Every structure is written in structure tokens, then in C-alpha cells.
Chains A and B, each alone.
Chain A
Amino acid sequence: MMKQNILKQTNARHLMLAAGLFLFAGTTLAADAPSNSVKPADPEAIGQEIATVTQAPNVPPPIKRKHSAKVIVNLEVKEVTKRLADGVDYTFWTFGGDVPGSFIRIRVGDDVEFHLNNAPDSKLPHNIDLHAVTGPGGGATSSFTAPGHSSQFSFKALNPGLYIYHCATAPVGMHVANGMYGLILVEPEGGLPPVDHEYYVMQSEFYTSGAYGVEGLQSFDMNKAMDERPPYVVFNGAVGSLVGDKALTAKVGETVRLFVGNGGPNLTSSFHVIGEIFDNVYQEGGTLPTQHNVQTTLIPAGGSAIVEFKTDVPGTFILVDHALFRAFNKGALGMLKVSGPPDLLTYSGKEVDAIYLGSAAEAGSDAEKKVVALKAQMAAEIKGNPKIAGLTKDIQIEKGKGVYMQTCFVCHQPNGLGVPGQIPPLAESDFLLKNRDDAIRAVVIGRTGETLVNGKTFKGTMIPLAYLTDDQIANVLTYVRNTWGNAGDAVSTTDVAKIRAEAAAPGPSATPPPSKFE
């Protein structure tokens, strides 16, 4: 019944289009005047409610009613300029003011009256294609809306599942690339099994004119989009949107359900949570738990998955796209922080820590030396750039925080406390403040042997992070030396370049210096 109505409407629309070319009279002059066919009342729908919608990572509460109802959904399209990464802004086109768009939760059989409102200050017209809609365009044919206008259409939720919605206005790829997607959950009869936490996570990529990390307002780069080479791959619309104090949370022993969508527009996600195994995966957002004990699940562009797991041990669990350069170089990192008592039987923590050199024969090859020399040259050029060199300490601290939350927090912990007995703390660290150059060395060339911090000796090995640029190292060290109770001076790119040059130079100083505390 519903399908027929929509088809009728589309045909009527075509006639009106043809008429509209020649005729501007009466009420039929509009290109897409509302259909005159009357929609019958849905006999199954009992009562009427306005849908609660939420911004990621929040999910509206489960639906308690045991019958279908008339549900009114209001969604506003807004074009907003916001943060994509630290120092990087982007003009997002959004459903509801945020990327991803508002999470919509309805029940199978619901009679949905959908209102799409395009904000008065929008530059462009937009529409919506909900994959949960059975009908032409998934609603797009009935929701094309000019700035400052509003469209209404209705659909019956015939199929339960977790569906993507997105803007489908030409050029569709660009509208989606700018952030126009979200999730709509159509609950099956009886709902989903109860869990302790439900979260909304959506992956997508951004095709900015500048490379990853280039600051300022970035515009959309169509060539990169066509080549499918995004500088950014992120969760929930920005680098770091699920990190630090914005991390997802749970307690040991609780059950967690993630509604994971992939807005694309191009890439398929290899969704993985480091250190967790999914107990259930509702593959491709369907209604059956199709697989148990899954490490990584594939989520197509324009598709979704529901994953469920019980947390067994405390710690920080990292959400990634396991296509790993996306995670560690393009932003696709999130965090789930699980608090509670440790379960040493399930996970012991590090029990033995020793140096293993393996075959050391390759170390110091000509190729490696050349790389080091080139990096030193690069560092010198960066140093000569007054824009970078002239950063104030405060900016360095802000930027350094970003580096820390992408690179260092995994070992030293988001709060800088390290891991007792294994990873030295950076918070209130006497070592860090007294041994400025050694701190730089630790990042540039790594560190082995004993390190005495606040009266405690650590024997761990720190791997070199020489791939960080001089300004990234200067910034992150300035950050850690001025956070968590530390108060030190700024570390400059000159300081870092000096250590790099020292490391590159032949002779005894090329090897990590012995700790002063040995």
C-alpha cells in the first residue's frame, strides 16, 4: 500500500515537471508540489510520539512499547564549520548539527512521519535517503528541500535492522563526504536483548585540500575523493572524538553494545577493538547475531554492524579500523575505558621484561644512516620555518596534547601515571624536569637500561619515535613537561634537531647514552 502511494506521487511529480516548463499558474507551478493522493491512516499504529534523537556516541533508550505507533521525526540540516582535528576546521554539512547525524530509534511497524528541515542559512538544498525506507530514493524523492524550507513524508518501517541514512542530493558523493550520514535503528518485535551500555560509533573519511594535520580551514578536495585517498579517516566526525575524557566507558563485567555505521563515502571499515573479542556480531546491521567470537568485522560503506561484548578486565581498549594506517596516521582511533578490579587469571599484565637484541647485524646500515641524515636535513628546514619555530609555549602545549593522545597515551596512560613497575610516570616526574635532553633522546632514539623516576627504578625499553617531526616532538615534550603537576620550560625544534643531529653523527653518542641514574 505504502509503495503504491509513493509511486503515484512520483508519477504525479513527473507530470508536474513537464507542465512546469510551460506553465506557471495556480498551485501547480512548483517543481515538486505535494501529492494530492491522501495517505490512509495506519490501522496498526496506536498512539503518537515524537522520536527522541541523540548525538553520537549516545543512543536513545530502548523502546518499551509492544505495538507500533505513529512516530514523528524532526531532523534539521545544518551547514557548520567545526573542528576536524586540532587546529583543523572543516565546513561540515550535517543532519542535526553534528557528524554523524542524530541517531534515530524506532520500532518495526511504526508509521513514521518524517520532517526534514533545511536551516535558513544553508547554502545548498539537501534531502535524505534512509536505507530503512521501502520506497523510491529511500525518501529522497520526497524530501528535496531548499534552504529555509521544510519537507514532510511518511513511511512504514517494514524491516527491522540498523540502517544508514544519508543525503542524496547531487553531487551525492560530496554531500556524503562533507558529513551527511547517520544511523536509524528499527527495533525488531520484542527489541534487542538488554545490555548495560549502548553506544553510537560511525566511521567516515574526509577529503581535505591539505594533508593530515595541515592547519586552518580545509576545503573539500574532489580529486582526492575520486582517487579514494582521504587524509582523514575518523570515528564520529573528528580526530579524537572518542579519546581522553570523551572515551566510551564501562565497568568490568558489564555488557556493551556498539551500533557501528560506516558513512564512507568510499572506504570499507575493518572494525576492531584492541583487546576485546566480540561475543556477538549482527553482521551488516541485520537482526540475527550471525557470528560469535569475532575479532574484526567488515563494515561496508553505506552499511552497519552491531557488535556486543562483555568486559572482563579493566583498562583502555582502543577502537580502530584495523587497516592500520587509517588508525595511527589518519585518525581512526577511539577508546573504551573499562574500570574495575583486575582479573589476573584472564590477563596478568607484564610478567617478564628483558632485552632481546635478536640479530643486531643490520643495525647501522648505510641505508639507515642515510635516512637519519635526510631526517636531520628535514628537521633543519622545519627549524628554519619561523611559522613553526615561533610557536608560543601555550600553542605547543595544546598541540602536544594531540600528539600525546595519538602516540604516547597507550603506554604512559591518558593521565600520565604510567604503569607501576613497568612504564615510568610522566606526571610529577623529577626525571622529566631534570633531564631535558635525555627526555628528547628517549623520544628520538629510544631508551634502554635503568631509569630512576621519583625514587623508583624502571627497567623498561622505550622504542624510538623518530618518525615524529621535530615540532611534534618539541610540542609533546613541552606538553608533558607542563601537565599533571609538571612545570618546565618549552622544548624547541632547535633542541630536538640538536639531539637528532647528535644521534645521526658517528661515534659513541649515536647510541643511547647510559642513564645518569645507573
Chain B
Amino acid sequence: MSGRRHKISLAALSLFVTAAVWAAPPDMACVYNGVYTPLFRSLTDPTNVPVKNFRLDVTPATNAKFLEFVRANPRWQRSQVKRIFADENYLKHWAGDLDPGTNALPDQPVVWVSWFAAKAYAQWQGKRLPTVAEWEAAAAASPAFADGTKDVAFQRDIFRWYSTAAPAVLPGVGSGPANFWGIHDLHGLVWEWVADFNTATVTGDARGDTGLDRQLFCGAGAVGAKDVENFPAFMRYGFRSSLKAAYTVHNLGFRCAKDL
């Protein structure tokens, strides 16, 4: 009798543990039933790809957090990093190896970081970089809807950011509105690294594309689409595909993801 009761309480405990795993830590939010609509796909590929439930950081990584990371991992300090893993502009706006200084305020998103550095940071946190599919699925959400692609005001705001020059001083993370999932700054602050940034490569050139493998590149066809929302997507894919893993850029940061 007592043995059975014990079993039941174990089951209850395991249920509790499962629930605890499902509740994301406060700095991450869960994205459920995500759908990814690839911008470039072959005629036989599905239009929409389901994305497994996952967690995503609520904000991009900050200078403050990145300072903790390089303190704990000296090989990622500016003077220590191998050139093959980050170009010569790596953390160029920091005052020193362990001193972000006045040009990199603690709550600003960390920029001038390479894909390798972002990946190492994520691992250090027990996380990983999101995939293109995950990032796009999370970023499709407007403040009101999980699928914000038909939210006109939301799309207009995104577009405004893409077509204005970068500000001299970046705002802090979390200053923009939260989206449906409670995630901030996917649009309107910085570009973000993703794990597979170079999978959906586009030369972006209408003349060049004609000679390329159409199974991979439907770019020319998609340009003609009447889908207004595609234009920001084009710019994101274009931006990602201009990168190499060691590149660092003034308006390129990252955030981490985790399996549920």
C-alpha cells in the first residue's frame, strides 16, 4: 500500500518537474506551433514548414552579459581571439578587453561580434543560436498576433526601420514593444546572427540569378510577388547571406535559443 502511494507521488513529482521545464526562465519566452515560410524554396518544397516548440531569449545579448562571457572565457577577449574566428573589428567599440567603456553601455545589444563568438556565448549559457526557421517564426509575431504577416501597422513599422539609417547610438535592449510571445527587439534594433545564416543564400542579383540553379534560387520570381511583407524578408536574407562566420558588423548582434 505504502509502495503504491510512493509510486503515485513519484509520478506527481515527475509531472511537476516536466511543468517546471516547460515554464521558461524569465529571460526566455516559449514559441509554440511556429510556422516558417521560407523565402527561397523549390517548387516541390512545402510553403509552410512547422517549427518545433522552442524557447528564445526575450532580448538580444547585451554588452553586460557579453562582458561576463569574455571574463569567464579569456580566449574570446578582444586581444586573445583568433583572427579566423573573428575579424579585426571584433568588439572594436569596447574600450578594452574587459572594459566596454562609454561606447558600449551595459544594456545595449552587443554588436561587432562574429558568428563563432555568438555560438560560443550560447554554449557557455547552455543554449544555442536559433535557426533561420526559428528566428523567422518568432519574428513573424506582431504585438497582437502570433502571425503578424497581415498586421498592417506592424509591417509598416518593420519597413520603416529597414529604410532608415542606423542611429548613432543604439537604444538599450527591451526598449521596443514585446511581440505576441513576449519577445522584444526582433525588429527595429539590430540584425541578429542565426545558426544557419548561410543556408538561404541569395546573390540578390536579378541578372546573376538567371544563371543559377532555380531549384535553390527562386529569388527572381519572388521579387515579382505582390507580397509586401516579403521585402523586409528579402533584406534579412540578403543581409545574412552577405556575411561570413568571422565577420563583425556595427549593427549585428544575436540572441540565444533553447529546446523546450
Contact = CB atoms under 8 A, between A and B. Distances in A.
A30 B244 contact: yes
Q: Interface centre among A20, A33, A129, by most B CB within 10 Å?
A: A20
A125 B238 contact: yes
B208 A148 contact: no
Contacts, number: 140
A144 B204 contact: yes
Contacts of A31: 198, 201, 241, 243-244
Contacts of A27: 84
Contacts of A17: 198, 201
B72 interface: no
A21 interface: yes
A146 B208 contact: no
Contacts of A504: none
Interface in A131-147: 136-138, 140-141, 144-147
Contacts of B242: 125, 144-146, 149, 169
Interface string B231-260: 100110111011111111111000000000
Contacts of A129: 205, 207-208
A170 B204 contact: yes
A145 B162 CA distance: 17
Contacts of B202: 170
A124 B239 contact: yes
A127 B250 contact: no
Given A21-B199, A123-B166, A147-B250, A170 B207 contact: no
Contacts of B207: 129, 136-138, 140, 168
A141 B208 CA distance: 6
A144 B240 CA distance: 11
B219 A170 contact: yes
A445 B89 CA distance: 65
A91 B248 CA distance: 24
Nearest to B226: A226
A14 interface: yes
B117 to A, nearest CB: 13
B149 interface: no
Q: Say which size band chain B's interface belongs to.
A: 35 or more
Contacts of B166: 79, 121-123
Contacts of A333: none
B208 A168 contact: yes
Nearest to B247: A146
Given A80-B165, A91-B164, A140-B204, A173 B223 contact: yes
By CB atoms of chain B within 10 A, which of A21, A80, A121, A123 has the most? Answer: A123
A372 interface: no
A210 to B, nearest CB: 13
A144 B203 CA distance: 7
Contacts of A136: 207-208, 211
Closest 5 CB pairs of A and B: A125-B242, A137-B208, A140-B205, A30-B244, A170-B204
19 contacts: A21-B198, A29-B246, A81-B165, A120-B250, A123-B166, A123-B251, A127-B204, A127-B205, A136-B207, A140-B204, A146-B242, A146-B249, A147-B251, A168-B205, A170-B237, A172-B204, A219-B163, A220-B159, A223-B228
Given A125-B239, A144-B241, A168-B204, 7 more contacts: A17-B198, A21-B198, A138-B207, A141-B205, A169-B238, A171-B231, A172-B223
